[in-house]
């Protein structure tokens, strides 16, 4: 044991070991709740197409190709958005 630091030989303190010992507070639970609600609202645009599509098809008399293009447009937008904005956000 090193008398000046009080640590035993070979023991190291890492950031991970310090974080693992910290308790969860109400602030952490609030952040988790806000993130969950944000995720729900963010994914809402993906699911709304499935609910709105039958009404849009009847109202506008769309053919099958147009229905497929409309249904997949959001997914293509997410793909290209992730490819373009992902690297920019990582900087």
* pLDDT reported for residue 79: 95
Q: Is residue 1 part of a domain?
A: no
Q: Is residue 31 part of a domain?
A: yes
Range of lowest pLDDT (6-10, 40-44, 57-61, 68-72): 6-10
Mean pLDDT of 46-58: 89
Q: Is residue 53 part of a domain?
A: yes
Query: Could you tell me the pLDDT band of residue 10, with boundaries at 50, 70 and 90?
Result: low
Structural domains of the chain, count: 1
pLDDT for 2 beyond 70 = no
CA atoms within 13 Å, Cβ hemisphere of 51: 5
Q: Is residue 72 part of a domain?
A: yes
Under 8 Å between Cβ of 11 and 17: no
Q: Is residue 4 part of a domain?
A: no
* pLDDT reported for residue 54: 93
Q: Which domain holds residue 20?
A: 15-90
SS3 26: helix
Mean pLDDT of 43-70: 91
């Amino acid at each position: 044991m090193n008398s000046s630091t009080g640590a035993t030989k070979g023991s190291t303190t890492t950031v991970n070991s310090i974080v693992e010992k910290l308790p969860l507070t109400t602030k952490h639970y609030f952040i988790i709740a806000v993130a969950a609600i944000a995720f729900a609202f963010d994914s809402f645009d993906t699911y709304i197409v499935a609910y709105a599509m039958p009404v849009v098809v009847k109202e506008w008399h769309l053919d099958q190709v147009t229905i497929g293009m409309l249904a997949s447009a959001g997914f293509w937008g997410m793909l290209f958005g992730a490819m373009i904005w992902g690297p920019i956000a990582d900087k």
